[in-house]
Amino acid sequence: MSPSLYNVVTTLNVGGTDVNGRTTLTGFRKAEFRGGAGKGGVYINGRFVFLLGFAQRSSNEWAGLGEAVPDWMHDYHANLIRGANSNYIRWMHISPQRQDVISHDRYGVVNVAPAGDNEGDTTGTRWTQRLDVMRGTMIYLRNNPSVFFWEAGNSGVSAAHMKDMADVQALWDPKEKGLRGLGDRDMDDAGGAQYAQWFGTMVAYDPGNLGSGYFRGYSDAYRDQGPIIEEEDFRDEAMRGIWDDYTPPHLGGFKPGPLDTYHWQSESFIVGDSTGSGQVARINAWVNLENIRNTTPANSRYSAYASIYFSDSDADGRTQSSSVARCSGKVDAVRLIKQIYYSFRVAGNTQPDIHIIGHWTYPAGTMKTMYVLANTPSVELFVNGTSQGKSSKPTDTYTFSFPGIAWASGSVKAVGYDASGKQVCQDELTTAGPAAAIKLTPTVGPNGLQADGADVAMFDVEVVDANGQRRPDDEDKIDFAMTGPGIWRGGYNTSVLASTNNTYLNTEAGINRVFIRSTLTPGDITLTATRTGLTAGKATVTANAVNVVGGLL
């Protein structure tokens, strides 16, 4: 989707004189929620659109900063979502931040907007309060074209309560005008179906749940009435910084502790293990092209898929586990990309796309299976220019396996071919040399860093070799020093308690990210990163003066 937004000017005229007015930034689209096998689904401007994306906590917080991030960082987050060829966010379990919705208007990310929820239906004042929140949410977000779905509950509500919600919608955002649908995640009271335009599920792609029965699963009856959208599938987890079984210092991969609820590393999180489990199993089942074409009853069950979460989150608490954040994300809590991110990018791409999972800097004597993500019919793997064989695409998968690959310093390249045998895409990784320096890369908003006391500069910190290539196995301590008119916010380490806001951090897979908040004083802010034995990194950003009148920006 490539959205266009417009400024709509509304003027109040009394007796030929304009007495008031306002400008609203919005967009125009037609949304339809059709039922039926092979023809049902979500349609935008008359065209069927398969929604691929993520469930995300409405807090949408960043490590070291929480929710206090400037507008451009909401745009940065939305751009990452679209970079994964995704177009859909189901916010959990309360109304999203307005700025996130505005960013999604710009980038073309469809939103599910809940009211407020406590994991179940309620009664009395608590239900009245939820209706009040939904009314406020509708008023607040009804001019945002990226909002497609109002959600009555994270869990099923009664038929009477669905009618209550429908009455609120009819008054404040009539579906015929707002072109938005009402539903909830678990329509376990079939009497409420008459008031819904869509039906949500959780962990739904389970053969045991396909049919007329309904518990967090699929129902033919509901599918024939309106779109069924998956809202938060697959809660398994993996930290960004542990590659595979062959990369020091984690030879053998992740070793779960007694309190850990997960056991994956970056590679196995995608390709699974000996049991056949893994995130890729979900992606393969949901995003194969037959599903997107929506042509047959067998391949039109769902209209949307949301994997939980997009970014690692402080949600649900993590004080005794190996990770301090719930790490189901496709990016970590400072939005550094994990390997699983590329699974979504490849699977959702309508053009040829390919990605080699992992890196190519291993100890001498390493022999392993190399995995390639691709949406092409076949893939060929090369090590230092020598073919290691060609693999044809397995059924319903985007993962190509090349077992028994002997590592050799140099390069590994994967080439994707179309059905005629023509090369249409490639990806290549090279071996990094010994760690030589620390590299700092600053990022600020499109107008530069503003000295408004709220803006943020973020700095990527990498350990690189003499040619500037990142060392993928580095995870040692780096010390930071800042000068100038800024407030140090730092970053975090995935598996270290109380690591936020410290003036030191370890790299994870050779990289980390830290933040500095501006003050009301303009001037240069310089960050220096040091470690004994490495050339220090240094970067400077300028906080630009802003106009303050009477204490207000």
Token pair listed for 349: 């791409």
**DSSP, res 332:** -
Among the listed residues 506, 531, 534, the one whose alpha carbon sits nearest the alpha carbon of residue 436? 534
Among the listed residues 156, 269, 150, the one whose alpha carbon sits nearest the alpha carbon of residue 219? 156
- Please state, in angstroms and as integers, the Cα–Cα distance from residue 446 to each residue in 72, 435, 456, 501, following that order: 7, 32, 12, 25
Among the listed residues 53, 54, 57, the one whose alpha carbon sits nearest the alpha carbon of residue 326? 57
In whole angstroms, give the CA distance from residue 518 to residue 544.
Answer: 9
In whole angstroms, give the CA distance from residue 36 to residue 195.
Answer: 17
**Residue 232 a catalytic site member:** yes
In whole angstroms, give the CA distance from residue 178 to residue 143.
Answer: 8
Q: How many CA atoms lie within 13 A of 426 on its CB side?
A: 12
The b/e string for 9-47 (b: 16+ C-beta within 10 A; e otherwise) is eeeeeeeeeeeeeeeeeebeeebbbebebeebbbbbeee
Do 324 and 376 meet the contact criterion of CB atoms below 8 Å apart? Answer: no
Residue among 151, 230, 231, 232 flagged as catalytic? 232
Q: Which 3 state secondary structure label does DSSP give 424?
A: strand
The amino acid at residue 19 is V
Among the listed residues 93, 1, 39, the one whose alpha carbon sits nearest the alpha carbon of residue 226? 39
Query: Sheet holding 486-490: strands in order across?
Result: 437-443, 456-464, 511-518, 486-490
Among the listed residues 392, 352, 334, 358, the one whose alpha carbon sits nearest the alpha carbon of residue 270? 358
Q: How many CA atoms lie within 13 A of 265 on its CB side?
A: 19
Kindly give, in sequence order, each residue whose CB lies less than 8 Å from that of residue 547, ignoring residues fewer than 6 positions away: 553
Q: Which of the residues are catalytic?
A: 232
